[in-house]
Amino acid sequence: MDAIRIEVTSERGTYLVIIGAGLASQLPALLKERSLDAQTLIVTCPPVWRVHRRRLRNVLGKHTPVVLPDGERAKTLTTVGKIYDAMLKRRLDRSALILAFGGGVVGDTTGFAAATYLRGVRLIQVPTTLLAQVDSAIGGKVGVNLAAGKNLVGAFHPPSLVVCDPLLLATLPRREFRAGLYEVVKYGVIASRPLFDSVSTNLNKVFAHDPALATSIVSDCCRIKADVVMSDEREAGPRRVLNFGHTVGHALEAVTRYRRFLHGEAVACGMLAAAQISATRGLFPADDHAQLRDLIARMGPLPAVADLRTGDLIAAIEHDKKVVNGQLHFVATSGIGSTVIVSDVQTREIKDALRAIGLRR
């Protein structure tokens, strides 16, 4: 099957997102074709390097990669410092490339190092989680966490190339894969009925990592994200639709101190809450609502929510709203494949929706 190429125009020029099974092994040719064959520093993390190092052997030459500690806790300025050190040690100048080979954590952290080292060097994203392939590797947002909160330091640094190889996803823990798949479902709900149907109808094949199906699903998502970010690169209006399910999702992550939910799982619960609010308002047809609930149920178990307090969730949503700009622009759905922004959502409606998704207190 041929690779799929999507052009993304950013304020810094145009870059390609290439999606195809087996592409990671063809990286040297892809880099060369895009005139990106400069000195390259590869940045990765232990689980990815352990299982996929052979695929990048031919890009690496004689250099060893920088292997960052794994996980969200490593998304810090200290880790960024390790990348700077490696670049200095190798005497990399402004013509060098940094290649992020990992999930969203590696991509965001490496991207921030690339944005800032010598005021910016070129970045190649080779995302290895489903979430990173459909979301974090595209759009140019990079950054790290501070002790006070997530993604508080960041930059806008579009990549020079994004290479998505769905074969890399076969080694993901099932729960991580599923978490990314909830974001895929989100793209279906906000923008594409055919994408939603393709996941719903072929769920077993999706979990079996069928390469052609994965390529088609990942490229549909990349196309939607690319379209949205091109219309709204720095997030003012249209980019908001990407936050479907995220108002309640972020609150669930915050009240459980980022320990109970993977991001995508919190988004799944948030989508169910947003769907409930949409349905109660008469925006979301009952049949579509049933299909969304059914698909999320068939995908597998979600973390428990019954013990969480609706009051704590509301407080977290209010806090988020203050941090944004004082107004809650709630992304609702008006049917699978389309969204509406509503700016008058009442606390009462959110509380009712939280009860509907299982909160008891």
* Residue of 75, 250, 253, 289 marked active site: 250
User: Rule CB under 6 A: is residue 47 a binding residue for ligand NAD?
Assistant: yes
Is 243 a binding residue for ligand NAD by CB under 6 A? The answer is no
Among 17, 41, 45, 292, binds ligand NAD (CB under 6 A): 45
Nearer of residues 72 and 352 to ligand NAD, judged by Cβ: 72
Q: Select the span of 34-42, 114-122, 123-131, 207-215 touching ligand NAD (CB under 6 A).
A: 123-131
Please confirm, yes or no, whether 157 is among the known catalytic residues: no
**Cβ 298 to ligand NAD shortest distance, Å:** 21
With binding defined as CB under 6 A, does residue 218 bind ligand NAD? Answer: no
Strands 149-156 and 141-146: antiparallel
Rounded to a whole number of angstroms, the minimum distance from the CB of residue 322 to ligand NAD is 20
Q: Is 105 a binder of ligand NAD (CB under 6 A)?
A: yes
What residues contact residue 207 under an 8 Å CB cut-off, 6+ apart?
A: 174, 177
Report in angstroms how near the CB of residue 244 gets to ligand NAD at its nearest. Answer: 13
By CB under 6 A, residue 51 contacts ligand NAD = yes
Answer yes or no: are the C-beta atoms of 258 and 303 closer than 8 Å. Answer: no
Q: Does 75 bind ligand NAD (CB under 6 A)?
A: yes
Provide Rg for the chain, Cα atoms: 20
Asked if 265 touches ligand NAD (CB under 6 A), the answer is no
Tokens in use for 198?
């393709």
Does residue number 158 form part of the binding site for ligand NAD (CB under 6 A)?
Answer: no
H-assigned helices in the chain: 27-33, 46-60, 77-89, 104-116, 130-131, 174-191, 193-201, 203-207, 211-231, 246-255, 263-280, 286-299, 310-324, 347-356
Nearest distance in Å: CB 236, ligand NAD: 16
| Beta-ladder partners of 338 | 335
Closer of 26 and 243 to ligand NAD (Cβ): 243
Residue type, 348: R
User: Which one of residues 10, 79, 136, 160 is an interface residue with ligand NAD (CB under 6 A)?
Assistant: 136
CA 219 to CA 288: how far, in whole Å?
24
Give me the DSSP letters along 259-298: TS--HHHHHHHHHHHHHHHHHHTT-S-HHHHHHHHHHHHH
Catalytic annotation present for 250:
yes
Choose, from 52, 176, 243, 289, the residue flagged as catalytic.
243
Dihedral sign (CA 337, 340, 275, 331) = positive
151 is catalytic: no
Cβ–Cβ < 8 Å for 356, 207: no
Nearer to ligand NAD, 172 or 296 (CB): 172
Q: In whole angstroms, give the CA distance from residue 306 to residue 359.
A: 4
- Shorter beta-carbon distance to ligand NAD: residue 17 or 106: 106
- DSSP secondary-structure letter at 258? T
Give min distance, CB of 242 to ligand NAD, in A: 9
Q: Binding residue for ligand NAD (CB under 6 A) from 110, 112, 114, 135?
A: 135
How far apart are the two ends of the chain, measured CA to CA in Å?
51
Which parts of this chain interact with ligand NAD (CB under 6 A)? 45, 47-48, 51, 70-72, 75, 102-106, 108, 128-129, 131-132, 135-136, 139, 141, 151, 168-169, 171-172, 176
- Residues known to be catalytic: 119, 141, 183, 225, 235, 239, 243, 246, 250, 263
